[in-house]
Structures are given as structure tokens and as C-alpha cells.
Structure 1
Amino acid sequence: MWNQPYRKSDVEAGGRQLYPTMLENPQLRWSFIRKVYSIVSFQLLLTVAVASVVVTVHPIKHFFASTGAGLAVYIVLIITPFIVLCPLYYYHQRHPYNYFLLGIFTVAISFAVGLTCAFTKGRIILESAVLTAAVVISLTLYTFWAAKRGHDFNFLGPFLFGAVMVLMLFALIQIFFPLGRISLMIYGGLASLIFCGYIIYDTDNLIKRYSYDEYIWASVSLYLDVINLFLSLLTLLRAADS
């Protein structure tokens, strides 16, 4: 068996091209993809751990729900990821600062996710998590399959950006002028579709466009896609259940 010829299609050997016009070394791109997915997996595990603590330790929930200090801390947690993105942009290629900032970014979002789950039924959380996992895996496999056959999803960028702007305006209207359960269901459904599109778009960029030094930005993009999809499904199912 040692005399078998080398198989160019062996994924682990890195010999398989990800798309027809690929000019770079496939082995380097596969290594980059594995690195990004390893980072995203760690971020998601950290999110699950932090959110579980927030949900199961009831004094944390009580602190945020019934005290003014809790509200102030919650606002800080919401703002922190946006603040951290600024230094992360400048240090995303400098180790270990990039990982340290990425950790702060992930923990802040994890607390926000945990607080959202703390006021949601366990059944709805489980349904949202299962749906999110199924959708993310399916869309990821589809994007790799489509890229292999020469499809390109770069055209989605402007449409998704415009859709997110509309979604943000919808959310602001909902905050100041609540439109009821039906509007929340519509919001959750639209947001879920938009972030499904972002998963395809960012996975396509991971395959073709991100440079090898942009593993932090690629990880942040995919992580936010997964978290936003989960929260959108959570909003949809919670509104449907009420």
C-alpha cells in the first residue's frame, strides 16, 4: 500500500482546489480555513460557557433585572464590543494582543447573549440552538460545494449591507414604537434570512478573499453571523410562543 500514487484530491493533504480559478497553494488556504474555524469554535464554546453561567446563577439575573447598577453594566456590555473593534482593527495581526482583544470582544457578547437567554424559556433556547447549528452546517457545506463548482457570492455584499440598515431601522422603530408580536415575528424572520445570507457571503470570502493575516477578522465575521442568527431565531420563536 506504500506504493500508492499521491492523490491530489486528498483534502488533508491540501491538494484539492476549493474553486476552479484558484491560483494560490490549496494547502495554505486549507490551513487558514482550519485555523479560522478553530478560533470560531473556541469563541462559541466560550459563549456557551459564559451564557450558561449567566442563566444558571440566579443572582446575576437578579442583579441585571432589578438594579440600576445592573442596567448600567448591561449598557457597558453592549457598547464594549463596538469599542474593542477599534483597537482590534489595528492589532489584528499582532500576537498576543489580537487574541486578548478578541477574548474581551467574545466575553462581552457572551454576557449579552446569556442575559437574553436568562429571560427566555429553556425549550425555546434549545430549539434556537439546534436550528442555528443545523442551518450553519448546511449553509457552510453548501457554500464549499458551490465554490467548488465555480459559483461566486461576492455580489451579495451590497444587498446584505442594505438589508442590515433596514433591519436596524426596524429595530429602532420597534424600541420606540412597539408594534406587537406579529412585528417581532416578521423582524426575527427577516433577520434570520439576512444572517443566513451573511453566513454564505463570509464563508465565500473565507474560501477566496481573506488574506492569511486576516484570520482574526474572518473569525469575528463568522462568529457574529452565528450569534446574530441564533438571536434572530430566538426572537422569532419567542414571539411565536407568546
Structure 2
Amino acid sequence: MSKSDPPPTYEESRQQQQQQQHGNYPYPPYGFTAQPGVYTGPGQPGIHPQAGLWQGPGYCPSAMPSMMPSFIAPGIFSSNLRDAEGISSTGIWDSMSVRHAFIRKVYLILAVQLLITTSIIAVFAFVEPVRLFVVQNPAIYWASFPVYLVTYLMLVCCEGPRRRHPWNLILLFIFTLTLSYMTGTISSYFDTKAVFLALGITAIVCIIVTIFCFQTKVDFTSCTGLLCALCVVLLVTGIITSIVLSFQYVPWLHMLYGACGAIVFTLFLAYHTQLLIGNRANSISPEEYIFGALSLYVDIVQIFIFLLHITGSSSE
């Protein structure tokens, strides 16, 4: 390999190690007549390789996508890859060490995103001129929505920008700023105490869900169909709630919708957390650290917004 050649990808490295582990001696097709002096596999006539060159019979299945990207929630996608088993523990792509480094990288990026969002929400909550400005100029909020949507779709649907450094970090930073501004604008319509109460509850929920996902044997990654159905129910409930509240404000209906949304996105947080762990039915590739951080970040922000609808009251 020359110095200018790029390093192998995660899938290429696993295939190379599988070939080294199982050797380069596949079985011949059915009906093939072995020629004298040609190796055809263990237990077959011919010249066998030296001891230690064969470590297992047959072909090792290569890593295949477990499912196609699917629309699983309003503004949330999922791209899952099933990791191949049997990777050598001494190789450069050792499964445990790579997965642990991947998890640390995802949570480091997520911590920076949440710090930015919390700081912006605090500015909108404590600085009265900023609060009044965003309340009196809702057009800025709607102008930021296309930026949020475009950057989100680029990060989720386009593998090139999502994996290419530094464009993936730049797009993620723009997305974080946009969603933080939109969240701060929504927080401006609620009382300051309600905002910080929702922040505290969100932090407690996220910690509990994360610890639970790392300890439990329940596999949320195998419940994609159920989560999609819950998203449809939440979407229909949101449309009905918006129509009813546009004519008459019903406090219990507003709180019920907020509770349903918080529960659904808490399940999504558990789902995306287990995708990072890698020891469930489905998992994401260690190269997809941007997608992992993006998924968790959107889930946490959505939980906060729905909890805010429960704890807060609209300002006059």
C-alpha cells in the first residue's frame, strides 16, 4: 500500500481478517472433480496445507446491512448495520476496543451539543430582551426551520457528507445551532421555572435510560415496527391536538399530548442507545459516530420539548 492510499474501511478490514483467519481455501462447488495435487478442503483428497494454516471450514459470512434506512419518527431516521461476528481479538479492528472507542466518541460529541443547547436555552430564559425579541419576531423561527431540515437530511441520508471530515462536523455544528435556537425560541413562551424543571427531568430520564440500556437484556433494536406504529399514533394525536387547541385551549389535552410524546421519544432514546452498544440484534457501524450522536441529540431535545409542554404554562 502506498502512502497516498486511504486506510481500509471497517467492512474491508473485517473481510481481510476473516480471510486471514479462515485461510484462502474455499470448498469447490458441488460436482467438481478434484485434481491430483490440488487442495480442495479438509477431509478431501489432495495435498493439504501445513498445520496451522486452516482455522475453520467453509465461508465466513460477510457483514450485511440488517435493514434499509427507514422513516421511524417525525424528523428521525435509522440506519442500522449488523456487525460481523468472529473478528480476531488481536486485529486492528478488534470489536470490543473499536466499539468502546466509538461509544466514547459519540458521547463526547453529544456532551458538546447538549452544552451548546443548554447555554442557548439559558440565554433565552434569563435575558428578557432576547425573550421578547423572539416572541415578537416568530418569522426568524420559521426561517431557521429549512436550515434545520436541510442539514438533518444531509447528515442522515447522504453517507458522503456524514463520513467526510471536516464537513460532517461542520454540518453537525450548524444543525446543533439551528435546533438549539428553535428549542430556545420554544422555551421563551414558557415560565423560567418550568423550563429548568423540564431540563432537570430530562437529565434524570436520560441518565436512567442510558444505565438501563447498558444493563438490561431487553432488546429494543428488534422493536422497529412497534416504534414506527407509535410514531404514527403520535403524529395523528398531534394533528388532532393542534386542531382542537386552535379553537379552544384544553389543558389536560395539552398535557396528555406532551406525556405521549415524552414516552415515545424515551423509547427512541433507548433504541438508539442500544444501537451504539453493538451487542443487540441490530447495531450501527463504528464509522457512524456522527449519526449516533445526531440520533441521541434529537431524542433528548424532543424529550425536553414534550416535558416542557407538561411542566410549563404559556406566557402572556
Q: What is the aligned partner in structure 2 of residue 183 from structure 1?
A: 253
In the alignment, does 2:111 pair up with 1:41? yes
Alpha-carbon distance change, 55 to 234 in structure 1, aligned in 2, over 3 angstroms:
same
Q: What is the aligned partner in structure 2 of residue 78 from structure 1?
A: 145
Shift of 1:239: 5.7
Alpha-carbon distance change, 199 to 22 in structure 1, aligned in 2, over 3 angstroms:
farther
How many pairs does the alignment contain? 216
Q: What is the aligned partner in structure 2 of residue 4 from structure 1?
A: none
Q: What is the aligned partner in structure 2 of residue 65 from structure 1?
A: 135
In the alignment, does 2:265 pair up with 1:195? yes
Residues in 2 aligned to 1:40 and 1:128: alpha-carbon distance in whole angstroms: 19
Q: Deviations over 1:54-97 (max 9, x none)?
A: 3333333223322xxx2221112233221112322420000111
Residues in 2 aligned to 1:194 and 1:204: alpha-carbon distance in whole angstroms: 16
- Identity, % of aligned pairs? 29
Residues in 2 aligned to 1:56 and 1:177: alpha-carbon distance in whole angstroms: 32
Residues 55 and 115 in structure 1, CA contact (< 8 A), matched pair in contact too: no
Q: Which moved more, 1:118-127 or 1:182-191?
A: 118-127
* TM score, norm. by length of structure 2: 0.64
Letter in structure 2 aligned against 1:212: P
1:144-163 counterparts in 2 under 5 A? 144-146=214-216, 150-163=217-230
Residues 190 and 313 in structure 2, CA contact (< 8 A), matched pair in contact too: no
Q: Deviations over 1:23-64 (max 9, x none)?
A: 552111010000000011100001011222233333332233
Q: Which moved more, 1:159-168 or 1:55-64?
A: 55-64
Shift of 1:232: 1.1
Q: What is the aligned partner in structure 2 of residue 16 from structure 1?
A: none
Residues in 2 aligned to 1:48 and 1:234: alpha-carbon distance in whole angstroms: 14
Residues in 2 aligned to 1:79 and 1:162: alpha-carbon distance in whole angstroms: 27
Alpha-carbon distance change, 31 to 114 in structure 1, aligned in 2, over 3 angstroms:
same
* TM score, norm. by length of structure 1: 0.82
Shift of 1:192: 1.3
Residues in 1 aligned to 2:183 and 2:86: alpha-carbon distance in whole angstroms: 40
1:161-240 counterparts in 2 under 5 A? 161-178=228-245, 180-208=250-278, 209-238=283-312
Alpha-carbon distance change, 196 to 86 in structure 1, aligned in 2, over 3 angstroms:
closer
Q: Deviations over 1:161-200 (max 9, x none)?
A: 2212221222222223316111111111111111111111
Q: What is the aligned partner in structure 2 of residue 92 from structure 1?
A: 162
Structure with higher helix content: 1
Q: In angstroms, what is the RMSD of aligned CA positions?
A: 2.3
Q: Which moved more, 1:199-208 or 1:167-176?
A: 167-176
5+ residue gaps in structure 2?
1-83, 88-94
Please give the secondary structure, in 2, of the residue aligned with 1:164.
Answer: helix
Shift of 1:22: 6.7
Please give the secondary structure, in 2, of the residue aligned with 1:120.
Answer: coil
